[in-house]
Amino acid sequence: MIELTDTNSAKIAAEFVRARTRAGSPAMGMVMTLIIVAPEEDAADAMLAAKRASREHPSRVLGVILGDARGAPHVHAQVGSGDGWGGETALIRLKGEVVKHAESVVLPLLLPDSPVAIWWPTASPADPESDPLGALAQRRITDSSAASRGKSTAMIAQCRSYAPGNTDLSWTRLTPWRALLAASLDQHPLKVTGATVTAERVSPSADLLVAWLADRLKVEVRRRSSKGPGITEVSMDTKEGPIRISRADGRLATFTSPNRPDRPVALKRREVPALLAEELRRLDEDDVYAATAARLVKLGAKK
């Protein structure tokens, strides 16, 4: 990594070119730009997660650390490529007046004619689309489960401000659950009369799962608490008996259905790099998430 102190966008871009030349690869085959906005204490973990995700999605990764907005502007950067990265990377630290105009530093560094995604691994704006950096991206990824406090409130706020291109990793965590539940109803085409989701007391993913089931099945979905980890059980009531998926250890689930023996099902909790890689596979609007977000807002208003 090359250290650049008191630099600017032009010098960072020039260092990208020099890094490619040193590597003997003038064309890196990158498919997108990924912007990561994180505080100093979370930046290292976020960049490591992006590094692992970049093996599937070669990208120009721009880590942005917003410091104190008071005082004279300073831009410092660490720039490099290779070393396990699928593309180029720059970790940019902003201080002073330039913090209020971070988009002016990032905009010249975006890859031309390619999509842009932005990820807030911890604290995220209440309205990602209207955020100056968020406005640069077609895909805006938040993670309400990583909020330091008020995780459920943060999830509701993201749902209220939903715009095409928004998503949350709390939703991505549900992909295996949703696939299993949909497959179970394919195997048992029975009318569902009610459902129950059991999870940790504070779980944005469980809240979204309740909203998804209520929106898709048009039934009342109850929410119960457990010690976790995460979601521990989903049960759907039918006239022949419950269809149930139970996962007590966060790794292996038990699938129970009427008139059939119980079956073990792999349902391991996934790490952030896998979640991020999944979200970067599609950059169009997620209509199902949009409908689920709208339903969660309605359910929250009834409480």
Q: Where are the domains of the chain?
A: 2-169, 175-266
- pTM score, whole prediction: 0.92
Pick the CATH number of 175-266 from 3.40.630, 3.30.70, 3.30.360, 3.40.50: 3.30.360
Q: Measuring CA to CA, which residue among 75, 121, 62, 82 is closest to residue 101?
A: 75
Q: How much is the mean pLDDT over the chain?
A: 92
Long-range contacts of the stretch 186-190 (C-beta < 8 A, 24+): 187/257, 188/238, 188/240, 188/243, 188/257, 188/258, 190/238, 190/239, 190/240, 190/243, 190/258
Over the stretch 73-125, which tens digit does the pLDDT of each residue have? Answer: 999 999 987 776 778 899 999 999 999 999 999 999 999 989 999 999 998 99
Region of 187 on the Ramachandran plot (φ > 0 left; ψ -120 to 50 alpha; else beta)? alpha
Compute the distance between CA of residue 254 and CA of residue 265 in angstroms, rounded to an integer: 6
pLDDT at res. 179: 95
Q: How far is CA 46 from CA 38, 55, 105, 225, 270, in A?
A: 7, 15, 20, 30, 15
Over the stretch 138-174, which tens digit does the pLDDT of each residue have? Answer: 999 999 999 988 999 999 999 999 999 999 999 999 9
